[in-house]
Amino acid sequence: MVERKGIERYYKEAGRLIPEEGFIPEQVEMLCNRQQELETFLTLHGGKAEFPALFDKWGNLVAARLVKRTYGFEWGILESDDPNSDITEWFNPSKAVNTDLERKRNARQGYYVGTVRARATVKVVPHGSVIIVRADGGFSRNVTILDNGLTVSDQEAR
């Protein structure tokens, strides 16, 4: 059973009125349980989670953050390492189903999409979702690089 405090926090974060005592909609209870699950996951993983990151064609981390735009998510290339700095250009990653083709198309544009482990937090978002997001605002060099997007053959060719 979800504590009243958790329900109130959900409603506050979602910008909704708190229900009267004893009335807990089933959906809210499920969301609160999911929020607790994700918070437990982060606790067990040292407050970190895996996120996509952008790398240049040499495998170096690029100062960029994912931004939701009209036709999906795109990478905003940042002016500096500050995640709140201005975006100087956009990179629209390939959405090919075949991962090799997707990687090759991205490489033609000079980028690879890889994976990093970064500090994370749980966030309640409007319309009934609970998600894990980066705690650094979308970019930081203080991350653990798990995959810089280069394959073994790419690295051998360099």
Q: Where are the domains positioned within the chain?
A: 1-44, 47-157
Task: Report the pLDDT value the prediction gives residue 16, as an integer from 0 to 100.
Answer: 60
Of 23 and 58, more confident = 58
Q: What is the pLDDT of residues 128-139, one digit of tens each?
A: 788 999 999 999
41: Cα separation from own chain's centroid: 15
Amino acid at 146: L
Task: Give the tens place of pLDDT for each residue, 106-121.
Answer: 999 999 999 999 999 9
Would the pLDDT of 142 be above 50? yes
With the CA atoms of 78, 81, 84 and 85 taken in that order, what torsion angle do they form, in degrees rounded to the nearest 10? -50
- Average pLDDT of the segment spanning 3-11: 60
Q: Please return the burial class of 9, using the count of CB atoms within 10 Å of its CB with bins 0-12, 13-18 and 19+.
A: middle
Residue 15 CA to residue 21 CA, distance in Å, equals 18
Give CA 32 to chain center in angstroms.
20
Q: What is the pLDDT of residue 1?
A: 41
Tell me which H or E stretch contains 40: helix 26-44
Q: Does residue 84 have a pLDDT over 70?
A: yes
Q: DSSP letters along 58-124, please? A: TSPBPSEEEEEETTEEEEEEESSS-TTSPEEEEE-----SSHHHHHHHHHHTTEEEEEEEEEEEEEE
Is the pLDDT at 153 greater than 60? The verdict is no
For the chain, percent of residues with pLDDT exceeding 70: 79
The pLDDT score that the predictor gives to residue 136 is 95
